[in-house]
Structure 1
Amino acid sequence: MEHRRLGASGLSVPELSFGTGTFAGRGDLFGAWGDTDARGARRLLDICLEAGVTLFDSADVYSDGAAEEVLGAAIRGRRDQVLISTKAGLPMGGGPGEAGTSRSRLIASVEAALRRLGTDHIDIFQPHAFDAATPVDEVLAALDDLVGAGKIRYLGASNFSGWELMKSLAAADRHGRTRYVAHQVYYSLVGRDYEWELMPLAHDQGVGALVWSPLGWGRLTGALGRGRPLPAGSRLHRTARFGPPVENERLYQVTDVLDQLVEETGRTVPQIAINWLLRRPTVSSVIIGARDERQLRDNLGAVGWSLTPEQVARLDQASAHTAPYPYYPYRAQDGFAQLNPPLVA
């Protein structure tokens, strides 16, 4: 398992990390993802650690905190072998203090996460979304205090837009506060919007991407493709409305090439899709998820080999789509590209 620096920080993270959205299984969304209990989680962690996966990602909103509890039970007795990433900020209820990243809520959220996880520190903590109702300086000051208290080691953001992330980084620099060194983002062969602004920003500012949903919200598992419609029992029937839409023809252009590469490489569709992501600029770690041992072992097979440049180019071409203004001129072969060369073709 390759290890990479997390952005411009000194923290090394494995190229694959494990997401705990399938733990506990409470609620409409997370109940559809999986319902792994503590015993099952310990088995999955055993497999991860054996393969060199040491970073485990969670959030308070995953099954209303129960996913953190299951993760805490699974790491008991081996906390020093793992890195824990978690998030807070999304609504946990309907009350006025049950959403956002105000100072009071951040402090309470971190304390609650520490109790659920059974640990005295969080290795990477991320606001789960930008909170426009709370001043950026208040958010950063609270997080900096939590870092100073030893309760958080490193800071990241999650699902920020470009201006939200840059405003936060500039404010941290202005006041000498702890910077975000990670950004947890959606990025996949059927969702390449990350490349338009967030990737150049991350490259310039030293922010490493922690990629969530690398299989395009379950569309790149191999079950879907041209002539292979959504199976009746697919969880996408329940969860697709929560994720970004993908037009069928665009999806099939990608799966057509993936099917070809399965024949050429002997690898599975998920392995190829994840391997493609691992070669992209600014990606520090790709977060994989699994409801069972079979899925986990399949995803772990994404590392230790490489697609050829020609195979990568075919995936690039099949998955490319025109960026909106003002990003598309920078991808053209003209004066804009000379001034702002793209990080990826």
Structure 2
Amino acid sequence: MTEVIELAVAPGTGAIYRRAALGQFRRRSATELPDTTLVLRGLAVDRAHLAAYNRVCGYRLTDQLSPTYPHVLAFPLAMQLMSTVDFPVRVVGVVHLANRIEVRRPVDAGERLELTVRATDLRPHERGRQFDVRATASVGDEVVWRGVSTYLHKEKPSGPREERGGTTDRAPAPQPTAVWRVGREVGPRYAEVSGDHNPIHTSRLGARAFGFPRTIAHGMWSKARCLAALEGRLPDSYTVDVAFKLPILLPASVGFSAAREQSAEREQSAEREQSAALEQSAALEQSAALGESAALGESTSRDVDDWVIGLHDAKSGRPHLRGRITG
């Protein structure tokens, strides 16, 4: 039976990281994820914090929540859940493999939110075990946003040049739409607004302790920066899936790519319309032969092209992020 724990306030992530670090070497006896859901009701958005977050990620300063901002609001709950003694893996050192965000509708900064977070689907990975952390944001009874983060707990040594997904992606890098210079300050600045104070992002010594020569950018910063580049070009409701590949060692120059691609839904709709048009054409020819009239049906296709997005190293072309946005 699911245990529902209601929180009065969002937990502080700094204290959680310290507690997790102290418990890093404790033996974990649990073999399954806890059947627990954390709930935080009536959360009011701090507009000053929203503005600070938007500045770090490159979003415009508006009174609507940026698509990745609810992830930041739910992150303290996720950390609270993953740092409990009955969680089967240690939260320090987990690798963010992928993230899916479903935006149901625009959310105004004045709307109060209810957040829920739970962990699901602990499963094998070639480098250890992976699991999902699922978050929802609701206004009243309406779910307005969903997020799924997939994390890896490494239990086997990494291979050479291994990506976060466990394989080396040798696909050629697309032609960049833009090239961005990412400074060292991005790690600490994003940590400040997101609450994700993992030392691999903020401290060179901390990064070296986990095998990185320099600090690395947060995966969710890179996703947010890509979506910020497409502001004003996305529908009110959409889903964006990304896989995090090689880390961005700071400082760095990265190439951003974004291209429209016909979605499977639109392609199938076009095929149906072509088939219907051929049938109607045959019907018209038959009606003309009989002296009758026939009306052509209206087009039913929708402009639902996908966006294919990516980040790659500006010099080597090696991938940092690959994703797709579907409307």
Q: What's the TM-score once normalised by structure 2's chain length?
A: 0.25
Bigger share in strand? 2
Bigger share in helix? 1
Question: Whose radius of gyration is greater, 1 or 2?
Answer: 2
